[in-house]
């Protein structure tokens, strides 16, 4: 297995601007990945600060540590799920932190080199787990979920227009033999989409279904909700949270949570006293999502759908 020697961090300048890391800060990087953001954060917080570098995949952590080189001493590596932020900080004896970064995109290693079937461009075993410790994998979702549940996953997490047809064809194929590889799944998806719609699609027709299965296997929406809630509570006053999402569902979740924390009153106009219970806990630093410019999209195609939002705890 080749190691990852190159990683292009998405929206790097924007991350540093909104996270605003300073010397001595403790920053929670919940999605360590290729450590592209981490390197620049460490430069800002050294020599007295620390980055808590969290990733579910142990190989990713070791690769990131090698890439950090002499800066690795400023990172506390943690092989865990970022949703467990409260337990992680408790284990480390840290009460509060100064910043949180969550880049919800898949690392280049997982896509290109993990062999776990994240890419619809390779024929690999259906797995899609971020960690070996997880019991459920993509093969179980594809082969054991009911047709109705598959359709719901594809529709809710992939926003797939032809969810019903794809789920139905999966059910037909698996009644004869177990679906084991990404190549088999890609062919089923392709056969399920009408020719006109297939040609009109931007990108690979399997993209949405693969995304949906990955999110289901790794419980990504649930984990995001948890880290947004518990992570915010772990910030000190003045601390910041920066989130980069790549999927409309995730972006809506982040936007809603940040808006709730901003505490904008939703009572009808004219009421003498607020009755909705709104409480201002944060300032939203990004009034609308920040997205990559044309040059970044051209230089790094994986940044194309990225949206960054940030808040500051009051």
pLDDT confidence tier of residue 7, bands split at 50, 70 and 90: low
CA distances from 195 to 190, 259, 266 (A): 9, 41, 47
Structure confidence by residue, pLDDT tens digits, 66-122: 999 999 999 999 999 999 999 999 999 999 999 999 999 887 777 777 789 999 999
Q: How many domains does the chain have?
A: 2
Whether residue 2 is contained in a domain is answered as no
**How would you list the strands of the sheet with 50-55, edge to edge?**
75-79, 50-55, 26-29, 97-103, 235-245, 307-313, 282-284
The pLDDT, as a whole number, for residue 3 is 34
Do 209 and 233 lie in one domain? The reply is: no
Model pLDDT, residue 28: 98
Could you tell me the CATH number of the domain that includes residue 155?
1.10.150.170
Domain extent, residue 305, equals 12-110+220-313
Q: Is 238 left (phi over 0), alpha (psi -120 to 50) or beta?
A: left
Q: Return the pLDDT at 198.
A: 79
Cα 121 to Cα 115, 125, 226: the distances in Å are 12, 12, 32
Share of the chain above pLDDT 70, in %: 97
- The per-residue pLDDT for 305 is 93
Can you name the residues that pair with 29 across neighbouring β-strands? 53, 101
Same domain, 177 and 239: no
Confidence of residue 1 (pLDDT cuts 50, 70, 90): very low
């Amino acid at each position: 297995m080749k190691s990852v020697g190159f990683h292009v961090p998405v929206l790097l300048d924007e991350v540093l601007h909104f996270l605003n890391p300073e010397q001595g800060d403790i920053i929670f990087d919940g999605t360590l990945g290729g450590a592209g953001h981490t390197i620049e954060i460490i430069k800002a917080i050294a020599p007295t600060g620390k980055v808590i570098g969290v990733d579910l995949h142990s190989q990713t952590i070791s690769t990131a540590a090698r890439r950090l080189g002499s800066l690795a001493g400023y990172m506390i590596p943690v092989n865990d799920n970022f949703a467990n932020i409260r337990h992680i900080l408790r284990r480390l004896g840290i009460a509060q932190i100064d910043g949180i970064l969550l880049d919800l995109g898949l690392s280049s290693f997982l896509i290109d080199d993990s062999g776990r079937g994240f890419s619809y461009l390779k024929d690999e075993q259906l797995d899609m787990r971020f960690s070996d410790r997880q019991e459920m994998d993509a093969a179980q979702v594809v082969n054991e979920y009911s047709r109705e549940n598959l359709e719901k996953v594809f529709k809710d997490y992939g926003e797939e227009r032809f969810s019903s047809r794809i789920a139905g064809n999966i059910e037909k194929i698996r009644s004869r033999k177990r679906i084991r590889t990404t190549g088999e799944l890609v062919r089923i998806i392709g056969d399920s989409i009408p020719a006109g719609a297939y040609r009109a699609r931007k990108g690979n027709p399997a993209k949405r279904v693969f995304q949906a299965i990955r999110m289901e296997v790794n419980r990504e929406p649930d984990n995001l909700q948890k880290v947004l809630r518990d992570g915010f509570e772990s910030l000190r006053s003045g601390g910041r949270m920066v989130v980069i999402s790549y999927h409309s569902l995730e972006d809506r979740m982040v936007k809603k949570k940040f808006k709730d924390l901003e505490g904008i009153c939703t009572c009808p106009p004219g009421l003498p006293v607020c009755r909705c219970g709104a409480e201002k806990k944060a300032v939203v630093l990004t009034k609308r999502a920040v997205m990559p410019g044309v040059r970044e999209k051209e230089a790094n195609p994986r940044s194309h759908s990225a949206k960054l939002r940030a808040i500051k705890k009051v």
